Structure 1
Amino acid sequence: MNNLPHVCNFTEVCNYIRRYSPDYIQRTMHSADMALQGKLILSGTRGQWLVVGNPPEWHDNKVNNNGYIWMLNRMNHWLILTYAYLFSNQRKYIDRVLLELLDWIESCPAPALTVDVKEAQRVYGSVDPWRQLEVGERVGNVWPFVIRVMDQIPGMLDSARPTILKSILDHGRILREVCPKFWPNADHNYYLTEMWGLYSIALNFPALEESAEWGAFAQQELERCMSSQFSKQGGQLEGCPSYHNFTTIYMGKVALLARKNGISLSEAFVERFRQAMNYCIQTCRPTGQVVPWGDSDADYKAAVTLSLGALFLGENNLVRLLQSLMGEQKFVNAIIPLLFDYPELLSLTGLLNSLNVPAAEELDEPPRVFWDKELDQVSIRSDWSRQAFSVFFVCRTPVYNGHAHIDPSSFDFTAWGQPLVVDPGRYNYWWLEERRKFKSAAWHNTLTINGKDPFEYLSSWEYGPQKQGKIEYVVDSGDWIRASAVHHNYEPIIHRRDLVMFTGQFLLVLDEVSGLTEQDTVQLNWHLDAVQSHWNEDRQIAYTQSNEVNVAVWTAGRKVYGERKEASISDKMDHLRPSTRVIMSDYGGMAGVRRYATVLFPFRGKFQQDQLRSLEVYEKNGQAFCQMKLDHSSYEVVFKYYGKQEGEA
């Protein structure tokens, strides 16, 4: 029926997974058995199994959550059922996929094709199985694979073939005729997904009469997407690492599908794709987790991104480095779904066969400072080991779109393999109060004025007007790395924040707030990845005591009053775990400029307060300084850095 580009030895892949990840097979079989009972976990089910129908009721929004309908109609559970068939050789799993496929085609006929933009937005932008994004998702990522497996079972598709091809043709016509009307500038991840779906149809089903034209058009548009949606330094323009990964994964699939069919991509595409790989590794914590910035998850999808990049570019260094950070088992578990479509990974030199990756110091390491100037994002780390200190620091306003959060000058801090002072993630797109909390400035590691967000939250996807915020400089001086940001969203109040990471020791946060009245209050917000924290009022120190590696947060410059609040972290969609917020409040009484110096001091074992000897903010010769004595070392740091710019990133 189709002409998928890989002749895959499924037996070899299954045997590999049995050997290296038997737990993955166990989880897959359990999920497949639940799917046979009509039970799925989808957006809005809050991580719980829900009866979706048997077969699924494709139009019924059972949890009053738009994402529920959209995720159901992406049919990702068909992949699970197909894997279960390949693992077990039990026909009931793949038979279920065909049953649901034919039921969906009958229950969800394609709407009449329209290219009138207003009418098309109503038809293809609604809470419906035929929303344009789902059209691209399912024919890009699900249908070709499950059809390929069915095609290898003699006689399975004989009677169903014409019906399935007719539906694929309907999908292709929507992607080709309608979607370009929505995205004339090729500047949205929806369009990239939709053109990936069209490209997938064209190259996987070349017998369709439109396939040649569709393939040429989709490739042209995907080239435009690469140019318009990725910064010159490789970051996807929404600035959310999860969205960067999924869009780059699709671009990797495009590149590999093109190559398998003897099609060349432009040098500009290949070079921007290479830069996207670098952005990917730079937006990982030293644990290999993705930094959950904006609408992102703290997952391990970077392994998928970099594996596809290694296959296409023939450059293994970054994926080997990531494996050394994640550890072998997490890495293998992350890329297992790739193996069925890309069995070449099994023989990628030094990657999977031996699972004996050199230590990070033996690899060619990327720079430890990365500054994407278009996205106003900075990644700094002490080194490229799992035990490194790392900071991801962002100040970008106005934001690009609604996937960003209200967090100018916030950051995420990891040390010694433990995320300590963190971005909380996204949780969910639709539950409005929870969405508001996870987006709010107060739930991030940033400063607020009078308890208010720096700009207004209007809805899940919309904000009020914003002023400029940007990263001003980044300097690597060897023993320390410094990055500075400023934003004007509280005008006439201006907030300047400098982060100074003393490599392998501690992180210093310098905040200067100007333009204040006596009545203005200031809040320093810290989101701690811990369930227990303590507050020492006399010394203005908060510290955690619930992890193997903990952190003390010590502030000076003004008298602040600490308050601890229960909070949550979301490592993946619809899932929560407990955390702690610490709010250090300055209740005012001084107009003009106020300065705060905060030390984030990682430690192991029981907190020893005598390690933090003194911390003060003072002025000298018209400049403001912070002076610290930690353990047996003393430091003096100027608030505004005017030194030589050698080593500027």
Structure 2
Amino acid sequence: MKFITIAFFLICSFLHRQPAHAQHWKEIKTVEDLNTNYPELINHLFSRIDLTYDGLDVVDSVLRQNDTIEACKLLIQYYQHNRNGSKYRKSNIPPTDISVAKADTILKNVFTIQNVKGKVPWGDDGHRDWHYKGPNNDREWAWLSNRHFQIDTVYHAYLKTGNSKYVSYIDEFLRDFIIKSQPYPEKWGTDAIWRGLEVSYRNKYWTSIFYGTINNDLISDATKLLLLSSLPDHAHYSRHFHAKKNNWLTMELSGLAVIAAHFPEFKGADEWLDYAIDKMGKSITEQVYPDGVQKELSSHYHYVTIDNFEQFKSTCEIAGKALPEFYHETLQKMYNYLAQSIRPNGYGVLNNDSDLDYNFERLEKANQKYDIPNWKHLHKHTDKYISNPDEVSFIFPWAGQFISRNHYGIDAHWSFFDIGPWGTGHQHKDKLHLSVAAFGKDFLVDSGRFAYTGAVAKKFRKYAQSSAGHNTLLIDGQGQAPGPKETENPLSALHYKITDVYDYAWGSFDQFDDLEGTAEHQRTMLYVRDEFWIITDRVVSDQPRSIETLWHWHPEHQIQVKDQIVSTNNSGGNLAIIPVNNQDFEISNISGAETPNIQGWYSSEYNKFRPNTTTIYKTTVRDAQPLVWILYPFKGEKNELKAKIKKIDKNGVYLKIKTNNDHFDIYVPYTDSNKVDFKKK
């Protein structure tokens, strides 16, 4: 008897702790079900709709007669038959039993977020745990899973196959989420559910799914009404609690515009769209330098911003709203940056917080809209990739990014040299970093971004952001401190020069973490087209300095050392790092180190990483003594380049260089493009 009493008490206590409707949400499918269990959501829905809007007069009339059930049914009919959302509406999809493996995995509540797979558990309240952080306890996992890309994937599987199981999952998924997400907090936050970026993504995915399934009986009337009740809250969040700048602002306001344009019946929709147009017009000017580079100076987030500016442009076109001409011109400049900085293999720059993004297809799609002559895509990765083959190297003087190449073929030489500001977001301490590719391969690389939060970030984030993860210098073991976030002026012509036979650029940096005394690192790059790169590193300091010059290799390469020359050992093309000074170097090659410091790791994509080799040349320098390097791409196994320093003066270095076929006499000035002296014999 005592056991029965205790058990009864525990059961009652458990039931008392449950939300009032938790046991019912899966059965809530009809208008009547929703009105019985959540009348407050229906009242909220009608309070946010302008019932004087054309076509809603019948709904208004019935609602005035207190027939809420009929008003809800008429509202659904209104959305089934009006012309809004025509972009998203779908005809009947022929039913099949065909399955899509990726979508089927999602049906098991197994989501892959930034390359990490996790199964979302069910909570004690009968709902999915929408705050679940994935197997690595990573809050980014929770945030991104609440953007609802997974139901977009399932939705497209339905459009492809007509398999009803996919729509049934979407129906149940959305009911679960919207009911669990109540009440809307009406304030800014960083919660897994109510955070600005997550809201903005749901604005877009939900709008697409709502109109794409509005006439589909497999989506319950309750789910349709729940979407209509929650979307105004999403718009309210995006309107009042959006970020103030950078790519977040762009994403959030593009999401607000989607709701405003496709649900004009919502109270405030006109004001939302006008507000977004005003803010986005100002934002594109504030976010993007005159040379077309987004100020975070990350190739990845540059594209994220373009994509959202483009989405916003398309939304305004649907709404019949004109954007100013400078908006369109800036978009073209932003695409121009992607076209001119693209690697020979079609991928973008890996810099700051970026992934190796395949930009070629994005540019081909953009060119269908803009038809820009100077990046006309004619053949994939050929010398006709850009219509003017004489223009192969580019400077972005505001961003401080210099792209060198010899042609547009897949086996072209290509380099990226960073001589600009730190960036307004997603920054790495990597000024004067140099990346190099040739023969269809990446050779010298940026280490990547690894992850922002969770176990991977705990291990690698500091390394990813530090100078130690880049091809630059450590001075007395210290890396760079944060630099100026943005610039008010472009680089002067003294910083760079592009000619038919060579490219020249230089930059400097003088802020280092915990460094005693003063030190300024000056780096100069001179690329001889079709031949090699010359790099000079000069540390101007008040005392002798221990210098570590770092060169990070792509993981695919095997590295060998011979007579202080470090090179790859491939059957095809190779790259050699040739120190020209008669300098005593301590050379080490480090791969996959975790102690005493992280070194020799590479991440081409978020949450993906593997060991690579970092070559470190360590020496001591005095009196602004320059270190001179030649980066020599060559085919075969033998490096045939010979080089020596003829003279060093206070302004630069004279070099004599011999290859198999040519002799070069070159004067490389440290800081003045006008003083380059180039002779080829």
TM-score range, shorter chain: 0.7 to 0.9
Q: Deviations over 1:138-181 (max 9, x none)?
A: 213x22222232125246353322211110010001111222xx
Query: Which whole-Å CA distance do the structure 2 matches of 1:370 and 1:256 have between them?
Result: 30
Equivalent residue runs for 1:134-173 within 5 Å: 134-140=198-204, 142-154=205-217, 156-173=219-236
Question: Residue 653 of structure 2 corresponds to which residue in structure 1?
Answer: 624
Question: Residue 396 of structure 1 corresponds to which residue in structure 2?
Answer: 420
Kept in 1: contact 2:261–2:318 (CA 8 A):
no
Query: Residues 165, 364 of structure 1: CA spacing in aligned structure 2 closer, same or farther, 3 A cutoff?
Result: farther
Aligned with 1:481 (options 493, 503, 506): 503
Superposed displacement of residue 619, structure 1: 2.3
AA in 2 matched with 1:274: Q
Query: Residues 106, 389 of structure 1: CA spacing in aligned structure 2 closer, same or farther, 3 A cutoff?
Result: same
Q: Deviations over 1:333-374 (max 9, x none)?
A: xxxxxxxxxxxxxxxxxxxxxxxxx86168346942322222
Query: Which whole-Å CA distance do the structure 1 matches of 2:366 and 2:484 have between them?
Result: 38
Query: Residues 492, 547 of structure 1: CA spacing in aligned structure 2 closer, same or farther, 3 A cutoff?
Result: farther
Question: Residue 51 of structure 1 corresponds to which residue in structure 2?
Answer: 119
Query: Which whole-Å CA distance do the structure 2 matches of 1:416 and 1:533 have between them?
Result: 16
Query: Which whole-Å CA distance do the structure 2 matches of 1:645 and 1:204 have between them?
Result: 60
For residue 233 of structure 1, give the secondary structure of its aligned residue in structure 2.
coil
Question: Residue 61 of structure 1 corresponds to which residue in structure 2?
Answer: 133
Query: Which whole-Å CA distance do the structure 1 matches of 2:427 and 2:290 have between them?
Result: 20
TM-score (norm 1): 0.81
Question: Residue 351 of structure 1 corresponds to which residue in structure 2?
Answer: none
Query: Which whole-Å CA distance do the structure 2 matches of 1:246 and 1:48 have between them?
Result: 21
Query: Residues 592, 259 of structure 1: CA spacing in aligned structure 2 closer, same or farther, 3 A cutoff?
Result: same
AA in 1 matched with 2:130: W
Q: Which moved further from structure 2: 479-488 or 633-642? A: 633-642
Task: Quote the RMSD (CA, aligned, Å).
Answer: 3.0
For residue 411 of structure 2, give the secondary structure of its aligned residue in structure 1.
coil
Q: Which has the larger radius of gyration?
A: 2
Kept in 2: contact 1:596–1:617 (CA 8 A):
no
Q: Deviations over 1:432-481 (max 9, x none)?
A: 330111222122111221121121xxxxxxx5999999965111121111
Question: Residue 196 of structure 1 corresponds to which residue in structure 2?
Answer: 254
Kept in 1: contact 2:200–2:238 (CA 8 A):
yes
Q: Does 1:87 align with 2:160?
A: yes
Question: Residue 292 of structure 2 corresponds to which residue in structure 1?
Answer: 234
AA in 2 matched with 1:3: N
Question: Residue 343 of structure 1 corresponds to which residue in structure 2?
Answer: none
Kept in 2: contact 1:528–1:579 (CA 8 A):
yes
AA in 2 matched with 1:425: G
Consecutive unaligned residues in structure 1, runs of 5 or more: 15-25, 115-119, 326-357, 456-462
Aligned with 1:638 (options 661, 667, 678): 667
Superposed displacement of residue 233, structure 1: 1.3
Question: Residue 380 of structure 2 corresponds to which residue in structure 1?
Answer: 324
Superposed displacement of residue 300, structure 1: 1.0
Query: Which whole-Å CA distance do the structure 1 matches of 2:500 and 2:263 have between them?
Result: 55
Kept in 1: contact 2:376–2:387 (CA 8 A):
no
Question: Residue 450 of structure 2 corresponds to which residue in structure 1?
Answer: 427
Equivalent residue runs for 1:239-278 within 5 Å: 239-278=297-336
Query: Residues 483, 11 of structure 1: CA spacing in aligned structure 2 closer, same or farther, 3 A cutoff?
Result: farther
Question: Residue 30 of structure 1 corresponds to which residue in structure 2?
Answer: 101
Identity across aligned pairs (percent)? 22
Q: Does 1:493 align with 2:522?
A: no
Q: Deviations over 1:532-580 (max 9, x none)?
A: 544435x211011247432111112222221001122212111123321
Query: Which whole-Å CA distance do the structure 2 matches of 1:637 and 1:598 have between them?
Result: 13
Question: Residue 342 of structure 1 corresponds to which residue in structure 2?
Answer: none
Superposed displacement of residue 268, structure 1: 1.1
Superposed displacement of residue 500, structure 1: 1.2
Query: Which whole-Å CA distance do the structure 1 matches of 2:219 and 2:486 have between them?
Result: 60
AA in 1 matched with 2:448: G
Q: Deviations over 1:474-516 (max 9, x none)?
A: 1112111111111222462211111111112221111122225
Query: Which whole-Å CA distance do the structure 1 matches of 2:250 and 2:571 have between them?
Result: 41
Aligned with 2:436 (options 399, 408, 413): 413
Kept in 2: contact 1:252–1:312 (CA 8 A):
no
Superposed displacement of residue 412, structure 1: 1.3
Kept in 2: contact 1:195–1:218 (CA 8 A):
yes
AA in 2 matched with 1:176: R
Query: Residues 313, 477 of structure 1: CA spacing in aligned structure 2 closer, same or farther, 3 A cutoff?
Result: closer
Aligned with 2:342 (options 273, 284, 292): 284
Question: Residue 133 of structure 1 corresponds to which residue in structure 2?
Answer: 197
Query: Which whole-Å CA distance do the structure 2 matches of 1:533 and 1:158 have between them?
Result: 61
Query: Which whole-Å CA distance do the structure 2 matches of 1:250 and 1:113 have between them?
Result: 24
Query: Residues 478, 74 of structure 1: CA spacing in aligned structure 2 closer, same or farther, 3 A cutoff?
Result: same
Kept in 2: contact 1:69–1:127 (CA 8 A):
no
Query: Residues 298, 83 of structure 1: CA spacing in aligned structure 2 closer, same or farther, 3 A cutoff?
Result: same
Query: Which whole-Å CA distance do the structure 1 matches of 2:652 and 2:527 have between them?
Result: 21
Question: Residue 442 of structure 1 corresponds to which residue in structure 2?
Answer: 468
Consecutive unaligned residues in structure 2, runs of 5 or more: 1-78, 592-599, 677-681
Q: Does 1:571 align with 2:571?
A: no
